[in-house]
Amino acid sequence: MVDNITSITEFILLGFPLGLRIQILLFGLFSLFYACTLLGNGVILGLISLDSRLHTPMYFFLSHLAIVDIAYACNTVPQMLVNLLKPDKPISFAACLTQTFLFLTFAVTECLLLVVMSYDRYVAICHPLRYSAIMNWRICITLVLTSWTIGVLLSLIDLMLLLPLPFCRFQKINHFFCEIMAVLKLACADTHINEIVVLGGAISVLVGPFTSIVISYMCILCAILRIQSGEGQRKAFSTCSSHLCVVGLFYGTAIIMYVGPRYGNPNEQKKYLLLFHSLFNPMLNPLIYSLRNLEVKNALKRVLGIERDL
């Protein structure tokens, strides 16, 4: 076994083994989606920074969600586009582990940011008179910094357990990016501890936070139903429905990937779910918030009106 162990310096990502024409078509399509992701989240960030009416805790959290979505896409999509045109182009060992670390960091951070955003909506609707006192800027900054810190620390644990592993098998990763479970399959040592840690981390940042979000929205629904004004109910539903759509997309795919039951060909299913998770989710989030949120629509109109006047 020791004689067969070689020092691997690079990997080859198999991506989507399709015909050349289909790969070129996917390259164009995914490039368009990638551009839309950057543009959509960039517009959200621009509106929040330019419009003083959006300088509130809710949009402060939304701006960090947009940053995470941009980082998500930039971490995985460019390498996937390269692989569609040059399937045999390798990725270095260091770049692969860096991609793994960043993906886990952004994934955990987004999980926690969605929890923070649900708590913000809970306080705003269930305790409106105390909202300014509870969600002050010191608390908001602390919540965001805590989300990022936990994301980095949990990812570091996985990375530190991954680094000592010897890789002596084929250098080909059956994925379009260096997803941690796909990388572990290439190790020639026992990876049970790594898999347990990854599963435990997934459960801790998916099931627990998702449960807290569900409880928060049950309380929010009860509070909305008690609102006498029809206009007040519509406004509350408008802000909450967009967040619920984002939560459903993110947690739904993530729970199926890491916690859900296995059937059929789980590796291929996980690959396509992760494609949706890392490419389509970041693109859809700004669309959901802009199409279903009246304040964002009005901010866009105000900014466009200022630009015309200039």
pLDDT at 266: 63
pLDDT at 305: 74
CA–CA distance, 32 with 50 (Å, rounded to integer):
26
Cα-to-chain-centroid distance, residue 161 = 23
Query: Which strands sit side by side in the sheet containing 91-92, from one edge to the other?
Result: 91-92, 10-13, 172-173
pLDDT at 310: 40
Residues 6+ apart with CB under 8 A from 269: none
User: Which one, of 39, 34, 9, 41, lies nearest residue 84 by Cα?
Assistant: 34
Query: What structural domains and CATH numbers belong to the chain?
Result: 10-304 (1.20.1070.10)
pTM tops 0.85, yes or no: yes
CA–CA distance, 199 with 207 (Å, rounded to integer):
11
Cα-to-chain-centroid distance, residue 223 = 29
Give the three-state DSSP class for 187. Answer: strand
Angle between helices 57-85 and 137-162 (to 10 degrees): 30
Class of residue 287 by CB neighbours under 10 A (exposed 0-12, middle 13-18, buried 19+)? middle
| pLDDT digit string (tens) for the chain, length 310 residues | 444 444 667 888 888 877 788 888 989 999 999 999 999 999 899 888 888 888 999 899 999 999 999 998 999 999 889 888 888 888 888 899 999 999 999 999 999 999 999 999 899 888 888 999 999 999 999 999 999 999 999 999 999 999 888 887 668 888 888 888 888 888 888 889 998 998 888 888 888 888 888 898 888 888 887 777 776 677 667 667 777 888 888 888 777 776 665 555 566 777 888 888 888 888 888 887 776 667 777 777 777 775 444 4
